[in-house]
Amino acid sequence: MSKLIECVPNFSEGRRPEVIKSICDAITSVPGVTLLDHEMDGDHNRAVVTFVCHPDLVVEAAFRGYAKAAELIDMRTHKGEHPRMGACDVCPFIPLSEVSIDDAIELANKLGKRVGEELQIPVYLYEDAATSSKRKNLANVRLGEYEGIRDSIESDDSRIPDYGPRKMNLRSGSTAIGVRFPLVAFNVYLGTNNKEIADKVADAVRSLTGGYRFVKALGFDIKERNQVQVSMNLVNYTKTPIFRVFETIKAEAARYGVNVTSSEVVGLVPNDALVAVSDYYLRLERFTKHQILEEKLKLAGADGSSDGGAVVAESFYDQVASSSPAPGGGSVSASLGSLAACLAAMVSRLTVGKKKYETVKAELSDVRDKADALRKELEQLIVTDMNAFNAVMDTFKLPKSTDEQIAARDAAIQAATKRATTVPLTVMRKSVEALEYALIVAEKGNENSISDAGVAGLAGLAAVEGASYNVRINLKNLSDAAFVTATREEMTQLRSRANDLAIKVRQVVESKL
């Protein structure tokens, strides 16, 4: 499995969908970033955004989210039930695959430095990235919230930020950036509007008031539902599982003659957390998570067996062959570009270390590493292209009953179509890079693998040409003449460059066969 990191920035805006959409668009404007989820809560006036990507991309993506939030959210007028200290209130990194805690801490510091210096927002590092034990707990960092930090940051030495000015950014507030274990944001609704009961139940499960070690909890008045809520972060669901907290809340609420009416998970939840809940309530015997179909398929693909690999690989082909318009030609083009990069990396590996090719060892080692990174970017673009197409389709479903709705719908269609144009244009750029590596390995790589270098050239050219079709079909629907002209010019240049490289690769391959 390739390197993967999750980032879950929380923004102090839960009532204006257009603001969160702009922030999400800014985050996903980094090629290779996949938006997994975003949820808004009007009472809390807060949104939770979840995205994943290669660790090389995460700082830039998160920073763009910060910059857009700083532009659109004014903390001087912000009100909501949830504690908050800034426009982008918190931004945790969660290592998922082949990323260590130390790697994630380094990324948190890089982001903190940029946010502090470029946006002039005070930054506090928390959890595993904390620079002091007092700042490990987010509640300590956010104590007093926006107003308290604003009034004390310049006089209280305990408020000196890790990055940025020792002065509150009045518009954007301050922020906390950290590294943590995957948490579960879990809320339980009680059959009462008495907030005092919610507070007492929250006290019973909260770590700081004698409850469970890995639970942070607060009581909230959800006026929209005329109910109260126990809102929690379960910071280590393996040590304090969901079902244990849920059962305790039921018992504590019953002391006051109150029932639990429902619960909710905010954002994404790890599979293991829900498996534990199923096991507890169903009282399963000899059950393991590998009895879950999706887990079994994942395991089959991971063990390198031919059957398992075929099952996992087939799913993408099944999706392309289905009646769904996405994934389609754009995703296939990105896949071809990724395969071209894979072949360039393979030929490099079959060259480096061979005595006959000692003189090109350094150059081909560099090609290998760059082609590996390029492959991952293009793999992410397979999904990004599909999401961009689906986003365009969603805009056509927007209401159009009034002139205002029609205008908003038209603007959304144009914005989404622009996005759907830039993604295949990015595929073109990246696939041209793959062609450049294909030419190097054709000229200097192991001659026993010359046919592989040739296929890399063919795949790279097909990727560029295929992606150009998607660029062109979208340009027809755009009204921004300047954007259309600039995009068409770049597309033409990329096609010309790709064709020149492909011809050279073919000539080299033909001469060596």
Do residues 166 and 199 both lie within one domain? no
Could you give the CA distance from residue 58 to residue 5 in angstroms, rounded to a whole number? 8
Contact (Cβ atoms closer than 8 angstroms) between residue 244 and residue 26: no
**55-72 and 101-118 are packed helices; what angle lies between their axes, rounded to 10 degrees?**
30
Contact (Cβ atoms closer than 8 angstroms) between residue 471 and residue 428: yes
Average pLDDT, rounded, for the chain: 91
Task: Count structural domains, the chain.
Answer: 4
> CA nearest 28: which of 423, 318, 484?
423
Residue 103 inside a domain? The answer is yes
Do residues 271 and 414 both lie within one domain? no
Q: What is the pTM of this model?
A: 0.51
Residue 320 inside a domain? The answer is no
% residues pLDDT > 90 (the chain): 78
Which pLDDT value is given to residue 224? 85
Last residue within a domain, chosen from 156, 179, 202: 179
Which pLDDT value is given to residue 314? 42
The per-residue pLDDT for range 268-318, each reduced to its tens digit, is: 788 888 988 998 999 887 676 767 777 666 655 544 433 333 333 446 787
Do residues 174 and 253 both lie within one domain? no
Residue 321 inside a domain? The answer is no
471-493 average pLDDT score: 95
> CA nearest 231: which of 247, 239, 244, 220?
220
Could you give the CA distance from residue 369 to residue 345 in angstroms, rounded to a whole number? 7
CATH code, domain carrying 494: 1.20.120.680
Selected residue with higher pLDDT from 378 and 324: 378
- Token digits of residue 390: 């689906």
Do residues 86 and 48 both lie within one domain? yes
CB atoms within 10 A of CB 153: 19
Q: Residue 320 — very low, low, confident or very high, per pLDDT cuts 50/70/90?
A: confident
Extract the runs of DSSP E, i.e. beta strands, from 253-302.
Answer: 260-266
Which pLDDT value is given to residue 259? 96
Do residues 371 and 264 both lie within one domain? no
**Residues marked as catalytic:** 82, 385
The per-residue pLDDT for range 395-416, each reduced to its tens digit, is: 988 988 999 999 999 999 999 9
Do residues 170 and 203 both lie within one domain? no
- Going from the C-alpha of 127 to that of each of 131, 132, 233, 375, the distances in angstroms are 9, 10, 13, 33
Which pLDDT value is given to residue 327? 86
The per-residue pLDDT for range 192-243, each reduced to its tens digit, is: 999 999 999 999 999 989 999 999 999 999 988 999 999 999 988 989 999 9
Do residues 273 and 401 both lie within one domain? no
87-114 average pLDDT score: 94
Domain that holds residue 134: 4-179
